[in-house]
A and B are shown apart, each in its own frame.
Chain A
Amino acid sequence: DSGVTQTPKHLITATGQRVTLRCSPRSGDLSVYWYQQSLDQGLQFLIQYYNGEERAKGNILERFSAQQFPDLHSELNLSSLELGDSALYFCASSPGTTRETQYFGPGTRLLVL
């Protein structure tokens, strides 16, 4: 158990819908990272938050957004969902922004029908 929690574990929804994925980092970690794992794109970095502020943005679609709250949990919002958004979404956390290892949560498996 990495100490990173993600809910829900599974999500099934329809095209055009909006969903919210939630992540709680390890105790004491200030950085949260979101990654997407899909069959065609592999594991890709989406976005990073550090202590409530957006720190870095990767290959995140405009339909997707994220935030980190004062209690340091983070939410990834996916809207206008398409079939191609079906993937495993991971959250990872680390204490800061440099040099530390990122520890991953169990992931949320999203299926868009």
Chain B
Amino acid sequence: AQTVTQSQPEMSVQEAETVTLSCTYDTSESDYYLFWYKQPPSRQMILVIRQEAYKQQNATENRFSVNFQKAAKSFSLKISDSQLGDAAMYFCAYRSGSNTGTASKLTFGTGTRLQVTL
């Protein structure tokens, strides 16, 4: 079974600075997808960024980018120019590329709580 590990329960960053959230995963599959979701105090789950395992290029969405290291099974999220609105819980998630069984499900890490200070 696939597992996702987020080893940083809490992180803090100053406004306008850059922060990197770590995520590692364990899988024997070669075809999969990785995601970062943000959960602000409203508890809504918001997609931040998505990475396809077959793509070597790291995904980027405005101030958010990932460092995807397939061999190391590492998928970190970099937030540049941090803003107060970035304060939230961030979850790393894995999804198999298969279409069988429970492959469609998302497997989540335990989350990293990001604080943004002035």
Question: A residues within 8 A CB of B107?
Answer: 45
Cβ contact of A42, chosen from B47, B99, B104, B110, cutoff 8 A: B110
Q: Is the CB–CB distance between B104 and A98 below 8 Å? A: yes
Contact partners of A113 in chain B: CB under 8 A:
none
Q: Is the interface of A mostly helix, strand, loop or mixed?
A: strand
A13 to B85 Cα, complex, angstroms: 33
A97-B99, A99-B33 as given contacts; A35 in contact with B47, CB under 8 Å: no
Asked if A42 meets B105 with Cβ closer than 8 Å, knowing A97-B99, A99-B33, A104-B45, the reply is no
Nearest A residue to B39 via CB reads: A37
Chain B residue with minimal CB distance to A109? Answer: B43
CB distance from A11 to the nearest CB of B (A): 14
Report chain B residues within 8 Å CB of A98: 97-99, 104
Q: Which of A33, A42, A88, A103 contacts B108 (CB 8 A)?
A: A42
A11 to B67, CA, bound (A): 40
Cross-chain contact of A56 among B43, B44, B47, B105 (Cβ < 8 A): B105
A109 to B42, CA, bound (A): 11
- CB contact between B104 and one of A33, A90, A103, A106 (< 8 Å): that residue: A33
Known contacts A42-B110, A42-B111; decide if A97 and B43 are in contact (CB<8 Å): no
Beyond A33-B105, A58-B105, A104-B46: 5 further Cβ-contacts under 8 Å? A45-B105, A90-B45, A92-B106, A107-B44, A107-B45
The number of inter-chain residue pairs (CB within 8 angstroms) is 60
Contacts of B111 in A (CB 8 A): 42
Bound CA span A107–B45, Å: 9
Write the A69-107 contact mask toward B (1 if CB under 8 angstroms, else 0). 000000000000000000010101010011101111011
A103 to B103, CA, bound (A): 17
Nearest A residue to B107 via CB reads A45
- A39 CB to nearest chain B CB (Å): 11
- B101 near A56: Cβ-Cβ < 8 Å: yes
B104 touches A31 (CB 8 A): yes
